[in-house]
A and B are shown apart, each in its own frame.
Chain A
Amino acid sequence: MNPKRKQRLLLVLFIVFGVSIAVGLTMYALSQNINLFYSPKQIVAGEAPVDTRIRAGGMVVDGSVKRDPNSLAVSFDMTDYESTVTVQYTGILPDLFREGQGIVAQGKMDSSGIFQAVEVLAKHDENYMPPEVAEALEAAGKMPQPEAEVFNK
């Protein structure tokens, strides 16, 4: 390689790595702002701001969904397998909402420690499978279980 080209190559590498380091440090500093939601563990530990609108994400606890028969109000528990937060919501839930499903809710923590949601989104995982396979795995108790770390980054 002649010296001119070598110089330009170094310049290109300098741009790429310089920008990477700068952006990397910025991202690291902002990491909590980039997270889409707080996990129940963070909320219980008081890391999430109170009285401002936040998002919370976790798994819907089996058997915790209580629907009001006269309205669209629903309450359920949300967990990351370390801490649990109760969520209250009035409105239409997404099709994928069910017990054991990951969800992301937007709303506020009220003074009694209940999360008042104004929006509930379903979060699904990357495990796709045909219904028969899902049934077989369910029967064998081998259904892939999301781990706590999915909600605790």
Chain B
Amino acid sequence: MAENKKWLPRWFYQMASPRWCYEFCGRLLPWFVVAAVLLLGAGTAWALAWAPADYQQGNSFRIIYIHVPAAILAQSCYMLMAVAGAIGLIWKMKVADMVAKSCAPIGATIAVLALATGAIWGKPTWGAWWVWDARLTSMLVLLFLYLGVIALHSAMESENTAAQATSVLALVGLVNIPIIKYSVEWWNTLHQPATFTLTEKPAMPMEMWLPLLVMVIGFYCFFSVSLMLRVRNEILHRERRAGWVRTLLEKA
């Protein structure tokens, strides 16, 4: 067993301890709150006031600064949920199960935001709120996967069985992520190709792209904050009989 321990870094095993994870998140939380507030505030102001309007769409293009970060985050959150679920399945790690459970409602909300902003943007530019093209449909499937995970989890009484079942569902749904990403390349869609790539030269000038980058990072910080809050709640709830939680609550 001793040599097995070296197989993964130490923090991985530390994270497995709910108490350690609770305290670690508590220490990180204020930094992420500050970063999220600053980045989202600055990014929104920059996007609304200083970024130039588009030559074709005018000011309605500015919804991109909510739409694209939300769409990216909804997919990242799903990947995190599936990976945490897999870790929970393989290592039987309670904290990973809690992370996976906490991801689902956040991801569902962000997916709704991405779909709603997309519809609001679609009406003035394309001329339709909704089109059943591959990108929009696969994104809707992502929302349904999140809702399925939430429903499945709440339908089961035992936390462990629920975690196992939802992890399998999340892993099955993982195939949807590359479909969303490449839908605009594989098929004819009304949706335009990817706007925000880190690997290629951006398809927009710097003064439009930088506020978008700020917003994307801000969304990730906001996501970290809400995830850590939820995970900490979940830890307290599930470890409520443990000694350290009792002392913590008595002190508060």
Binding site for B on A (CB under 8 A): 1-2, 5, 8-9, 11-12, 15-16, 19-20, 23-24, 27, 31, 34-39, 57, 93-96, 104, 119-135, 151, 153
Q: Is the CB of B64 within 8 A of A126?
A: no
Bound complex: CA A126 to CA B131 (Å)? 18
* Known contacts A27-B179, A121-B131, A94 near B126 by CB under 8 Å: yes
Q: Is the CB of A128 within 8 A of B126?
A: no
* Known contacts A5-B91, A94-B125, A129 near B187 by CB under 8 Å: no
Contact mask B118-153 → A, CB, 8 Å, 1/0? 000000111110011110000000000000000000
- Tell me the minimal C-beta distance from A93 to chain B in angstroms: 8
Please, could you name 7 A-B residue pairs with CB atoms under 8 Å apart, sorted by A?
A34-B187, A36-B134, A95-B127, A104-B131, A121-B131, A128-B208, A130-B52
A-B pairs with CB below 8 Å: how many? 129
* Known contacts A16-B171, A94-B125, A95-B124, A130 near B188 by CB under 8 Å: no
Residues of chain B within 8 A of A151, CB atoms compared: 188
Within 8 A of A (CB), among B32-60: 52-57
Residues of chain A within 8 A of B172, CB atoms compared: 15, 19
Cβ of B207 < 8 Å from any Cβ of A? yes
Q: Is the CB of A36 within 8 A of B189?
A: yes
Residues of chain A within 8 A of B91, CB atoms compared: 5
For A127, give its contact among B124, B125, B187, B204 (CB under 8 Å): B204
For A12, give its contact among B89, B131, B188 (CB under 8 Å): B89
For B203, give its contact among A2, A31, A119, A128 (CB under 8 Å): A128
